[in-house]
Amino acid sequence: MLENYVHHDDIPLIQSLAISQDYHRDGYSWSYTRNGMYTVKSGYWVATNLLKEEELEAHEPNITKL
């Protein structure tokens, strides 16, 4: 079934994932706080620190360095 829907390079990665033993539903986690919960402060930090760096890399060349 994976071969019908997933790129062939990703199939071994998917098959290597361990199946949960307790059958709980997946949840969401925010990587930029210790407790995994999103906060406006952490979202602002990502927007001003991480996204700005990616934006500069993605839109080169630009006149900012001049």
Q: Is pLDDT at 60 greater than 70 in this prediction?
A: no
Structure-token pair, residue 56: 């500069």
pTM of the model: 0.44
Q: In this predicted model, what pLDDT tens digit does every residue of 37-54 receive, in sequence order?
A: 999 999 999 988 887 655
Using CA atoms, how far apart are residues 50 and 4, in angstroms rounded to an integer? 35
Determine contact, residues 14/6, Cβ cutoff 8 Å. Answer: yes
* Cβ atoms < 10 Å from Cβ of 46: 15
Q: Is pLDDT at 65 greater than 60 in this prediction?
A: no
In this predicted structure, what is the pLDDT of residue 24? 78
